[in-house]
Chain A
Amino acid sequence: MTPETGFEAIVTVHHAEIYRYLRRLTFRVGEAEDLSQETFFRAYRAWAALPSDANVRAWLFKIATNVFRNHARGERRRLIAHATVQASRREVDPDGPEAAAMAGELQALTEATIQRLPVKQRMAFTLRKLHELDYEIIGQSLDCSAETARAHVFQALRKIRTSLDGHVLPRTESTR
């Protein structure tokens, strides 16, 4: 009869990551806070019915994803406009050393491309590449199969890679 104890532990463990996830999807501090609050409110309401052996992290990502999808409907155009502004602002890094500036530019470019991705690709990419979730869990979050989730991520990678064409990329070993 004391759900608060357990749920506060859930907030403590998972809030930062869920918040970062939503922050990455929205790229706006206030929005991310509202959406993560909504996520944890919904989670709190549903928590009593959650089986004790459930994967809480996957469950929270699913809720956050739904919250974001509802939010994203009709907001998409505005988000893209914002992303462009944000990206061009992030490109300027006058004080940093040249290499850092270059890396910063690549990052900003990548972020801007991520934001222009269709919502499902953007979410799949963020869940996989930035939060390193399994495709199985991503599929559950996006209401699709693990294979489809994987296809979304690869589509996203293709588009980001194309957007980086013509830019000097960081050096990596070309084969393993």
Chain B
Amino acid sequence: MTSKPSVCVAIEPDLIAAATGEAVASAASRVQSHIAGCATCRNDYAHYRALETVVGDLRSTLPAADAEDARRRLIERLADLRSRLVRYRVAPSPLGPILIAVTEHGVSLVEYLGRGGAAGSRLFREAGVEAEEGGADLDRLHGELGEFIEGRRRQLDWSLDLRSARSDFQRQVMEVTVAVPYGAVASYAGIARELGRPAAVRAVAQALRHNPLPIVVPCHRIIGSTGKLVGYAGNRVALKERLLGVEGVPVNARAASIERGAMYHYDPNPDHQYCLPTCGSILRRPLGQIRLFAHREQAAVWGLEPCVDCRPDLHPLSR
């Protein structure tokens, strides 16, 4: 090897390239003119050409029969991984750092993080969950949530994964709560009634206390029968007040209560008429049966007509 003339050593890379079909035209013709006069390199070239044939055979001979079985098993295990995999991202918000998590079915968790940050998230306390950070879709969700909190967006049209609900009952409570519209409030008692379990007021409150999807499942719109805000996400009543404020729901901060007297009322009646809070004795009706809303447009969504006595259309509430 060491006795190889320097010109042969120098041309070797081009020779290999030419023999294996990777050389540019100029290098290939240089190689051709060299091997025309050099028997050793001609022999080398022939060997590399032959090797290319052997490698070509190698390329096509690997049996792939077992690949099909392997693929089938992979698909099965991927399905299992998929059902357990949760992707999450933490982002700052006007309400403090918030974690959003998604599964293949949709958003599964929106969590106000405490001092422990993401490490303290309930995500890591759930058995069988594989948590993974990141994903461009999570940036979009955080963007929309931020807009919502700042009052620039009224809807979060997210597909939700309610599988992490603690019970069927909690899932039902969440489904009913999702239907309470922007700028409206309902009471725990009202939700219980709607579920056909009027006595389960405390159970409804408990279910919402552990709501895994605050804001998007708007438990901040559910209040006590007296109009008190009661609780929110543990001890974060101030956030509830703030979210209601963003939606235009009048709140008396000192009393930690909504200003029922500054909202439209709908007491279910055959004429589907909604009223001003000053209409007759409506202000004294139990909250559990009444729909309260801050924006008159909501009446149209529900198909309600203005009351012919108090005429909320002629005397809209001022904000």
Interface residues of A (CB under 8 A from B): 1-4, 7-8, 11-12, 15-16, 19-20, 23-24, 29, 32-33, 36-37, 40-41, 44-45, 48-49, 103, 106-107, 110-111, 129-130, 154, 157-158, 160-161, 164-165, 169-176
Contacts and interface: CB of A to CB of B under 8 A. Distances in A.
B73 A33 contact: yes
A174 B59 contact: no
Interface residues of B, number: 50
Given A33-B70, A154-B16, A161-B48, A11 B57 contact: no
Contacts of A7: 78
Contacts of B70: 15, 19, 32-33, 36-37
A45 B85 contact: yes
B16 A48 contact: no
Interface stretch (B60-68, B113-121, B247-255, B278-286): B60-68
From B58, B85, B159, name the one whose CB has the most chain A CB atoms within 10 angstroms: B58
A117 to B, nearest CB: 13
B137 A154 contact: no
Contacts of B67: 15-16, 19-20, 23
B50 A40 contact: no
30 contacts: A1-B102, A1-B105, A4-B104, A8-B75, A8-B78, A16-B67, A16-B71, A20-B64, A23-B67, A33-B66, A37-B73, A37-B74, A41-B77, A41-B78, A41-B81, A44-B78, A44-B85, A48-B135, A49-B134, A107-B54, A110-B51, A130-B55, A154-B13, A157-B20, A157-B48, A164-B51, A169-B54, A170-B50, A170-B54, A172-B52
A169 B50 contact: yes
A8 B77 CA distance: 12
The SS class assigned to the A binding surface is helix
Interface in B40-55: 42, 44-55
B163 to A, nearest CB: 14
A3 B76 CA distance: 16
A29 B138 CA distance: 38
A24 B54 contact: no
A169 B66 contact: no
Contacts of A8: 75, 78
Given A16-B64, A160-B51, A110 B58 contact: yes
B104 to A, nearest CB: 6
Contacts of B77: 37, 41
Contacts of B17: 154
B57 A172 contact: no
Given A1-B159, A129-B55, A172-B53, 8 more contacts: A1-B137, A12-B71, A44-B85, A129-B59, A161-B47, A161-B51, A169-B53, A171-B50
B132 interface: yes
Contacts of B152: none
B203 to A, nearest CB: 30
